[in-house]
Amino acid sequence: MAMGFGLLRLSPAAFWAMTPRELERALSVLPRDGGQAPRRAELSALMRIFPD
């Protein structure tokens, strides 16, 4: 439910109307490991580009 409401931003009606297969397919496009934190050089570059 947290992934359906939080990540996919589904309404309760849309969430409960989905089949398990539809929900699995919608979630399959999201990264599974959450990605990696940026390395120091990448973070420094981002801070220069976006100083605020």
Task: Sketch the domain layout of the chain as residue ranges.
Answer: 2-49
Condensed to tens digits (0 to 9), the pLDDT of residues 1-50 reads: 888 899 899 999 999 999 999 999 998 887 777 668 889 999 999 999 99
pLDDT of residue 52: 85
User: What is the number of residues in the chain?
Assistant: 52
Helices of type H across 1-52:
2, 12-17, 20-27, 40-49
pLDDT of residue 36: 80
Prediction pTM value: 0.54
CA distance 49 to 47: 5
**Host H or E run for residue 9:** none
pLDDT of residue 38: 87
pLDDT of residue 34: 65
Cβ pair 14, 6 in contact under 8 A: no
